[in-house]
Structure 1
């Protein structure tokens, strides 16, 4: 059990990475151990401590990892998330400027090409775009994968709770008995569910962000 006391260590001169790293070192903890305890891939915790935020998953997942890590270290995560947003915003702006510069160079090179080569290049680009769009549409239309490893079907037990574990399609939203839960980057999840005497129905749903959903129900009898 994590028994550290919450500590505010925010200094104007310290980055998000520096604050996380110094707090962990102050507590004498190994990054590998923390990764196992909070079920976050080691490489993402390492990216947070090194400030390599571009290596984190896109969207809210990076913020969620930061929040869970900060909570584990007993750091007030709210100002830390604000700093994270400012730092990543600056990084994104630099990346956009670099991308714009590269696009200007590519456009100049393209205009200097012969017409036949231009035509071939355009056909290839259109074909690739159509293939990608078709692939994305199929992905959205498909039912997300959901594999329940525990509990088994029609389980009979005397326990007052059961561990619900499995693997869902990465980045899909997971809901167990109406409660949203967070999976790791590989889609693995684990949730302890309370049971009552008699028949219990556990409903596990995986929902794609812009697509379909799948629901698996497990029946458990508590004697």
Structure 2
């Protein structure tokens, strides 16, 4: 049964317990409060533990309480009155309240990002980026450039007359192929057409970076195509005139065969392996014939001294284009 009254539990805290509770709620340490209020930490500990015997004169204690309360933004007189009340009870009852162990306030570790923190983070990022850049530059300075030739593969055999050289190097590096410059794209890729000769073909590919460090790759390709058969037999040639020519000079393979005037109808038969040089003062009247073709003029002018050079290739062409053509 109830007696008509509602019983309510009233929380009664001592001054020290209230100070500890408030400081815990504000998540502050004794050191922080001591620094802010300029109250020695040992006096703050005495207030929180109820050890009034360790406190100085009451005038100072009341000043401590007012500073403490104002720092927390609370009414200072309430703290002073509670202190006077507890002091009065202890004095009249002659009891000394046992010193309670001050509860330990455990403050959680909170990471607070401040402008100063952001500045230090930014400085750290810049330093790391700078260090990475310097490390790359140092590596480029002491190391050879990268050079890869993907085609053709060194040691391969082919019957083709040409292949395409394909490779890659560092951006900004220069490529030389057998001493000749090769165009390199901005990303370091390059390619060049290779003309193959019958037999063994050797290609030296060199990459040079901006620090003048060079790397060379040798590519050897064997071409199985047989070289063309060259007919080195002498070519029969006849040189003559159809009227008197005052000056005619013939040089066959470096040997002077004739040098002087020619009468009408004169002819000279020669065997040419390398070169034939005909110098005449009347090209229109000076005639030439290759093997069994008809005679034709070496030039179109009269009374003008000119020199005409013939090789086996040009003599063969002259033979093929002038077979059975009428003489001038």
TM-score range, shorter chain: 0.3 to 0.5
Highest relative contact order (Cα 8 Å, sep 6+), 1 or 2?
Answer: 1
* TM-score computed with the length of structure 2 as normaliser: 0.30
Compare the two structures and name the one with the higher strand fraction.
2
